[in-house]
Structures are given as C-alpha cells and as structure tokens.
C-alpha cells in the first residue's frame, strides 16, 4: 500500500480523536490531587499548601515529584491527563500522560503521576518552594479539573533506583569510601 492511501484513514482517525468543542457531551466527575506516602497510603493535598512533597532524585539524573488523582465511583477506569506545574521563578512545566489507569476500591485512585522537573542544577534549587499543580483528566466521556499547591522538600538524600533499593550516602557496607555500590565513589 502506498503512502497516499494511508494518509486519508490516518487523518480521519486523528480528527476523530480530537474533542469536538461540544462540552454538552462531557460529564464532569469529582477529583482531588494527593500524594501516596512511602507506605502506599493516600494523602490529600491541603488546600492551603501545607502539604509537602519530596523531590525525588533518580539514578539516571531525573528529578521529579509524585502525585496522584482520586475520584468517586463515577471516575473513568482510564483517562488522559494533562498537567501544568507552576513554581515561582521558573518556566511552567507541562506534561501529557495518556491512558492513566484508575484502580478502584470504592473510590478510584490513579496510578502515580511522576511530574518531572528540570534537573540542570540539582534538587536544591526547588527545595522550600511551592508548586501549583493543575490537572485535567478526560476519559470515557467524563472530565475533571483539579488543582493544589504543595511545598517541595528535599529531606531524603537517597537516589531512587526505579523500584529497587535506593542508593544512600554512607551505605551499610564496610567500604571506606562511604559509597553503597563498591565502585569507590562516595555519594
């Protein structure tokens, strides 16, 4: 099949995926932004910005904060999420996450939404600042918009290893270099 035969079906598919602009077809659902603590428990973000969120420094040099959405029983099982993070003194950060899964246990809670930040100068540049997070979730003819403000903190000196044991300064081994990986490089 040549490319010109693929162009029309592809264009039709892309246009049909775009919103029609008719908001009467979309039913709202309630949502709130929160965090999932290290024990897996949901923590709602306070409206006054008193909730803090740990800056997570990854082993590949990524820096992010985790958030999650929670809604009622009318929340779709899957949704596309658009988020915007505003931190004073920095350009706004935008991210689109497709097909985010909302697990159910009476209320529906999204999988963790990793909000990546610029790491050109390390996590210290954000510590102590507030981040306003605005989220729009759409799926299965339903839509929700919610916002919250969190205080960014850098209390954990460890490096996240994507589900494995974190790498922390002053590891538990007998290595005199003070590292945790026997490479001889101190953290």
Q: Flag whether 177 is in a domain.
A: no
Q: Is residue 163 part of a domain?
A: no
Residues 50-104: tens digit of each pLDDT: 788 888 877 777 888 889 999 888 899 999 999 999 999 999 999 999 999 998 7
- If one counts the domains in the chain, the total is 1
pTM: 0.70
**CATH number of the domain where residue 84 is located:** 2.60.40
* Cα–Cα dist 137/96, whole Å: 10
Residue 128 falls inside a structural domain? yes
Identify the band that residue 156 occupies on the pLDDT scale cut at 50, 70 and 90.
Answer: confident
Higher pLDDT, 43 or 168: 43
> Which position has the higher pLDDT, 154 or 181?
154
Q: How far apart are the first and last CA of the chain?
A: 56
Q: Is 38 a member of any domain?
A: yes
The Cα-based distances of 70 to 26, 44, 102, 175, 177 in angstroms read: 19, 9, 8, 44, 44
Total count of residues recorded for the chain: 187
Please report whether residue 167 resides in a domain: no
pLDDT band at 168; cut points 50, 70, 90: confident
What is the extent of the structural domain holding 42? Answer: 24-153
What token pair was written down for 169?
A: 């300064």
**Does residue 46 sit within a domain?**
yes
Q: Is position 17 within any domain?
A: no
Give per-residue pLDDT as tens, 14-64. Answer: 333 444 444 568 999 999 999 887 777 888 887 666 788 888 877 777 888
Bridge pairing between strands 27-28 and 142-153? parallel
Question: Is 11 part of any domain?
Answer: no
């Amino acid at each position: 099949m040549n490319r010109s035969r693929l162009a029309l079906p592809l264009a039709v598919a892309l246009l049909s995926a775009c919103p029609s602009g008719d908001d009467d077809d979309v039913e709202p659902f309630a949502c709130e932004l929160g965090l999932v603590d290290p024990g897996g428990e949901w923590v709602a973000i306070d409206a006054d910005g008193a909730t803090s969120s740990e800056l997570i420094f990854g082993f590949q040099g990524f820096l992010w904060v985790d958030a999650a959405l929670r809604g009622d029983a009318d929340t779709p099982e899957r949704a596309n999420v658009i988020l915007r993070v505003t931190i004073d003194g920095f350009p706004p950060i935008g991210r689109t996450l497709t097909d985010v899964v909302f697990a159910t246990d009476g209320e529906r809670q999204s999988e963790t939404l990793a909000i990546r930040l610029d790491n050109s100068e390390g996590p210290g540049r954000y510590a102590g600042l507030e981040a306003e997070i605005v989220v729009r979730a759409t799926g299965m003819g339903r839509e929700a918009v919610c916002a919250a403000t969190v205080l960014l903190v850098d209390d954990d000196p460890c490096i996240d290893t994507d589900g494995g044991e974190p790498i922390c300064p002053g590891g538990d081994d007998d290595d005199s270099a003070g590292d945790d990986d026997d490479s001889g490089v101190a953290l």
